[in-house]
Structure 1
Amino acid sequence: MLQYALKVLLTAVVIVAISAIAKRSSFWAALLASLPLTSLLAFIWLYVETGDRARVAALSSGVFWLVLPSLPLFLLLPALLRAGWNFWLALLAAAALAVASYGLMLWLLGKLGVQL
């Protein structure tokens, strides 16, 4: 139970830090947010809990393939906001594009025989 509480606390600290830093510098907040901290923490927790390097390798491969379809969100959201869209509508549209991109990526990976 203590390990789960530590995971939640560490994750919350990272998110709160990014939000606080963003109020002062979007560059530094973006840099911190773009680091694969979540993935690194997941790799560490998975290894500590299981000791299974094959599972960590499989998770890492899966993260690689599934990061790619998230990238259009980061292109569409700022474009829509700069075009004057309402924040919530722009976020919804960008998230919908991300969902569609995930679907396309999973379909494509299936066609290529890549298993996650």
Structure 2
Amino acid sequence: MYYLLKIALTAVVVVAVSEISKRSSLLGGALASLPLVSFLAMIWLYLDTGSSDKVAELSRSIFWLVLPSLSFFLLLPILLKKGVGFSASFGISTVVMVCFYLGMMFCLKKFGIQ
């Protein structure tokens, strides 16, 4: 039952962003930009483990890995405005983002950040 609650609450957040974005892209963007998934993940992690250390580690990892994800949100609208189709724009933006993730993980490892 606990897992069903976690799934249902997480699904409600995603659907809410989608529905609100139909009416207002600014409000949908504001809601989507909130770290709701991160909030939920931290809450679920703490409730499952009772470990504030694990939550702190997750929070630190999220901080470092948010940076490469920004490339997706910068590149996607540029490609769409240039007339590249949605699927291609989405795919290219995703590939670039993954490359930035890999680069960030390489850099973090090089500097000893776990």
TM-score (norm 1): 0.96
Question: What is the DSSP-based 3-state SS (H/G/I as helix, E as strand, rest coil) of the residue aligned with 2:83?
Answer: coil
1:32-87 CA-to-partner distances (Å, cap 9, x unmatched) read 00000110111111111111110010011011111111000000000000110100
Which 4+ stretches in 1 moved above 2 angstroms? none
Unaligned runs of 5+ in 2: none
Match of 1:56 in 2: 55
Question: What is the DSSP-based 3-state SS (H/G/I as helix, E as strand, rest coil) of the residue aligned with 2:65?
Answer: helix
CA RMSD of aligned residues (A): 0.6
For residues 111 and 22 of structure 2, what CA distance do their matches in structure 1 show? 43
For residues 23 and 45 of structure 1, what CA distance do their matches in structure 2 show? 29
Question: What is the DSSP-based 3-state SS (H/G/I as helix, E as strand, rest coil) of the residue aligned with 2:19?
Answer: helix
Equivalent residue runs for 1:78-97 within 5 Å = 78-97=77-96
For residues 47 and 110 of structure 2, what CA distance do their matches in structure 1 show? 34
Match of 1:36 in 2: 35
Match of 1:22 in 2: 21
For residues 51 and 19 of structure 1, what CA distance do their matches in structure 2 show? 32
One-letter amino acid matched to 2:75? L
Match of 1:6 in 2: 5
* Matched length: 114
One-letter amino acid matched to 2:107? L
For residues 37 and 3 of structure 1, what CA distance do their matches in structure 2 show? 19
1:3-38 CA-to-partner distances (Å, cap 9, x unmatched) read 110111011111111111111100000000000011
Match of 1:104 in 2: 103
For residues 110 and 47 of structure 1, what CA distance do their matches in structure 2 show? 26
For residues 113 and 21 of structure 2, what CA distance do their matches in structure 1 show? 37
Question: What is the DSSP-based 3-state SS (H/G/I as helix, E as strand, rest coil) of the residue aligned with 1:114?
Answer: coil
Question: What is the DSSP-based 3-state SS (H/G/I as helix, E as strand, rest coil) of the residue aligned with 2:23?
Answer: coil
